[in-house]
C-alpha cells in the first residue's frame, strides 16, 4: 500500500459557518476491533467503520496475513480470518502505524507466536512499548529483540502463557487492549490493574463479552478476564468518535453555536462539556489532561485554538506526551500569544485575531487544530501534510465545506 501524494489544505478564513454535522465512527474503537477479528475462526461483521487512513492500513495488514475482507455497505465490513499466515504480515505497513501494535495480542492468542516490527505513528513524544512488554512477560510470554533495517524486530512466544495478575505501569489504552486480546482465548483467570477505561476500551470489552469472553470490572481500573478457546462470531457496531465530537463542539462554540452536532456520545464527554461551559461563562481555560474520565489529551490542542479567542490567560498542562505542544509554534506564526513553560505546560493569552500563514501539520491532533485556526483566521492559510488529518478525520474538507467553509485540498 503506497502513501498518497503529498497534499495540503488551503483555507480562506473568516467566513461564517453554520449547518449540521454528524459524528462518525471512532477510529480508536475500530482499530482494536479489526485486530480482534483474528481471534475468530468464523467471519465477524463490523458496522459504522470510519473511512480513515489508519483503518485502511489496519485492513491492509489483515489482508497481508490472509484475511478475506468484504464490504457489505459503505461502512459495514465482513472479515473472515479462518485461514491466516502470520509470517506474511506486511512489516512496512506495521512500521507506519502505531495501532499495529494491537496485532500482537490476538496473533499470540491464536497462533502462539508472532514476529512484528516496531510500530510507527504520530510524533508526539516517546511512546515506548515497555508497558506492553512487561504485561506480556507477567503472563509468561517470551520476547526476543533483534535489529532490523528500519528499527527493532520483535518475536513473541506464548507457549508458556498462564493466568495471573498484571499491574500496568501506566493507564495505557493500547496495553489494556492488547492484554484483553491476548487473554481472550485463555481459559484461566487474569486480573489487570491500572487498566485504561477510555470509551474505545469499553467498546472492545462489550464486543469481547458478546463473543463469550468473561470480563468483570472491579472499581474504575481493574479487570478480571477469563477467556474461552473458541469465540462466538458476531456483528458489532462501532461507537461514535468522542474525540471527533469534541472537535466539532469546539468548532460550534467558535461559531456561536450555529453548527449543530449530531450523534455525539455525550456520555463520554463530561470533562469536555464542563470546559465548554466554563468558556460560555467567560472564563479562560485551565486544562490538565488525564486518563479517562479526565480531560482527553487528544482534545487539548483544539482547545488551544479556542483559548486564543478567550479573554485572559489560559493554562494547559499535558503530562502524557512531551511533544503535544508542537502546534503552538504554528499558532504563533498566525499571531497567537502563547508561551511554552516546559514540554508539558503552556500559557495562551487572548483574545487575539489570527492571520493566515503557511504552516505544517505535525500529527493528527495538531492537524485538525490548525484547520480550526485557519477557519477563524483572516486571509489565506496553507496547511502542509494533510495526510496526518486524514488518519483520523474522514473527508474533513468536504464536511467543512458543507458548513460553508472555504477549504480545498491540493497536491504538492
pLDDT digits (tens, 9 = 90+) for 117-168: 998 754 444 456 899 999 999 999 999 999 988 889 999 999 999 999 999 9
* Residue 322 near residue 281, CB atoms below 8 Å: no
According to the per-residue pLDDT averaged within each range, which of 39-48, 282-291, 312-321 is highest? 39-48
The more confident residue out of 36 and 391 is 36
Largest CA distance in the chain: 62
Span 95-119, average pLDDT = 95
Helix, strand, coil % over all residues of the chain, rounded to 5? 35, 25, 35
Cis bond upstream, residue 293 (ω within 30) = yes
Query: Which of 36, 122, 168, 279 is the catalytic position?
Result: 122
The Cβ-side half-sphere exposure at 75, using a 13 Å CA radius, reads 17
Q: What was the pLDDT predicted at 4?
A: 55
pLDDT digits (tens, 9 = 90+) for 266-280: 999 999 999 999 888
Q: What was the pLDDT predicted at 362?
A: 80
Average pLDDT over the chain reads 94
The more confident residue out of 151 and 43 is 43
Q: What was the pLDDT predicted at 273?
A: 95
Q: Is 114 a catalytic residue?
A: no
Span 188-216, average pLDDT = 98
Residue 5: pLDDT above 80?
A: no
Q: What was the pLDDT predicted at 6?
A: 86
Rounded to 5 degrees, what are φ and ψ at 409?
-110, 130
Span 358-372, average pLDDT = 91
Cell of 135: 504485561
**Under CATH, which architecture does the 27-237 domain have?**
Alpha-beta prism (3.65)
Q: Which residues pair with 8 in a beta bridge?
A: 384, 410
DSSP 12-76: EES----EEEE--B-HHHHHHHHHHGGG-SS-EEEES----HHHHHHHHHHHHTT-EEEEEETTE
Distances (CA, A) of 314 to 22, 332, 345: 29, 15, 11
* Residue 238 near residue 203, CB atoms below 8 Å: yes
Cβ neighbours of residue 73 closer than 8 Å, sequence gap 6 or more: none
Q: What was the pLDDT predicted at 121?
A: 55
Considering Cα of 393, then 322, then 179, then 268, what sign does the dihedral take?
A: negative
pLDDT digits (tens, 9 = 90+) for 170-184: 999 999 999 999 999
pLDDT digits (tens, 9 = 90+) for 380-399: 999 998 988 999 999 999 99
Location of C-alpha cell 498518497: 4
Location of C-alpha cell 487492549: 177
Q: What was the pLDDT predicted at 353?
A: 96
Q: Which residues pair with 39 in a beta bridge?
A: none
Considering Cα of 286, then 309, then 125, then 135, what sign does the dihedral take?
A: positive
Residue 97: pLDDT above 70?
A: yes
Hey, which CATH number is domain 7-24+240-411, 2.60.40.640, 3.30.930.10, 3.40.190.170, 3.65.10.10?
A: 3.65.10.10
Cell of 246: 469534541
Residue 324: pLDDT above 90?
A: no
Distances (CA, A) of 300 to 186, 211, 294, 357: 38, 35, 12, 22
Considering the chain, tell me which residue range(s) the CATH 3.65.10.10 domain(s) occupy.
Answer: 7-24+240-411, 27-237
Q: Which contiguous run of DSSP H or E holds residue 332?
A: helix 327-333
- How many H-runs (helices) and E-runs (strands) does the chain carry? 14, 21
Instruction: Name which of 360, 353, 357, 407 is nearest 383 in CA terms.
Output: 360
Residue 240: pLDDT above 60?
A: yes
Q: What was the pLDDT predicted at 336?
A: 97
Q: What was the pLDDT predicted at 412?
A: 74
Q: Which contiguous run of DSSP H or E holds residue 388?
A: helix 387-390
pTM, full prediction: 0.94
Angle (deg, nearest 10), helices 300-307 and 364-376: 20
Provide the pairing of β-strand 76-80 with 113-117: unpaired
Q: What was the pLDDT predicted at 323?
A: 78
pLDDT digits (tens, 9 = 90+) for 6-35: 899 999 999 999 999 999 999 999 999 999
pLDDT band at 361; cut points 50, 70, 90 = confident
Q: What was the pLDDT predicted at 3?
A: 47
Q: What was the pLDDT predicted at 316?
A: 97
Burial of 178 (0-12, 13-18, 19+ CB in 10 A): buried
Burial of 267 (0-12, 13-18, 19+ CB in 10 A): exposed
Cβ neighbours of residue 254 closer than 8 Å, sequence gap 6 or more: 305, 306, 309, 372, 375, 376
Amino acid at each position: 500500500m503506497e502513501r498518497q501524494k503529498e497534499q495540503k489544505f488551503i483555507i480562506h478564513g473568516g467566513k461564517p459557518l453554520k449547518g449540521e454535522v454528524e459524528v462518525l465512527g471512532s477510529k480508536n474503537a475500530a482499530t482494536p476491533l479489526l485486530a480482534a477479528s483474528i481471534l475468530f475462526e468464523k467471519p465477524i461483521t463490523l458496522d459504522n467503520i470510519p473511512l480513515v487512513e489508519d483503518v485502511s492500513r489496519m485492513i491492509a495488514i489483515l489482508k497481508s496475513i490472509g484475511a478475506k475482507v468484504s464490504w457489505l455497505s459503505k461502512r459495514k465490513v465482513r472479515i473472515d480470518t479462518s485461514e491466516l499466515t502470520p509470517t506474511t504480515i506486511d512489516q512496512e505497513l506495521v512500521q507506519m502505524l502505531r495501532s499495529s501494535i494491537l496485532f500482537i495480542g490476538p496473533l499470540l492468542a491464536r497462533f502462539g507466536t508472532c514476529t512484528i516490527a516496531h510500530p510507527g505513528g504520530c510524533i508526539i513524544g516517546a511512546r515506548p512499548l515497555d508497558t506492553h512488554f512487561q504485561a506480556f512477560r507477567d503472563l509468561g510470554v517470551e520476547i526476543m529483540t533483534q535489529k532490523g533495517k528500519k528499527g527493532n524486530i520483535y518475536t513473541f512466544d506464548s507457549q508458556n502463557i498462564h493466568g495471573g495478575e498484571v499491574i500496568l505501569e501506566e493507564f495505557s489504552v493500547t496495553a489494556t487492549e492488547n492484554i484483553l486480546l491476548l487473554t481472550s482465548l485463555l481459559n484461566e483467570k487474569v486480573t489487570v490493574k491500572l487498566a485504561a477505561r477510555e470509551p474505545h476500551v469499553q467498546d472492545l470489552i462489550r464486543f469481547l463479552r458478546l463473543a463469550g469472553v468473561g470480563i468483570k470490572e472491579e472499581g474504575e481500573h481493574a479487570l478480571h478476564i477469563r477467556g474461552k478457546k473458541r469465540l462466538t462470531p458476531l456483528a458489532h457496531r462501532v461507537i461514535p468518535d468522542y474525540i471527533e465530537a469534541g472537535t466539532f463542539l469546539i468548532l460550534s462554540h467558535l461559531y456561536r453555536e450555529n453548527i449543530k452536532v449530531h450523534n455525539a456520545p455525550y456520555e463520554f464527554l463530561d470533562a469536555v462539556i464542563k470546559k465548554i461551559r466554563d468558556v460560555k461563562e467567560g472564563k479562560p481555560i485551565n486544562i490538565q489532561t488525564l486518563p479517562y474520565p479526565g480531560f482527553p489529551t487528544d482534545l487539548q490542542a483544539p482547545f488551544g485554538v479556542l483559548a486564543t479567542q478567550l479573554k485572559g490567560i489560559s493554562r494547559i498542562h499535558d503530562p502524557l506526551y512531551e511533544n503535544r505542544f508542537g502546534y503552538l509554534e504554528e499558532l504563533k506564526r498566525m499571531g497567537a500569544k502563547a508561551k511554552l513553560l516546559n514540554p508539558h505546560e503552556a500559557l495562551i493569552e487572548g483574545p487575539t485575531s489570527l492571520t493566515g500563514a503557511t504552516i505544517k501539520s505535525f500529527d493528527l491532533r495538531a492537524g485538525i487544530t490548525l484547520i480550526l485556526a485557519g477557519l477563524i483566521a483572516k486571509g489565506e492559510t496553507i496547511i502542509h501534510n494533510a495526510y496526518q488529518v486524514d488518519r483520523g478525520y474522514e473527508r474533513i474538507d468536504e464536511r467543512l465545506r458543507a458548513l460553508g467553509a472555504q477549504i480545498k485540498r491540493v497536491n504538492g
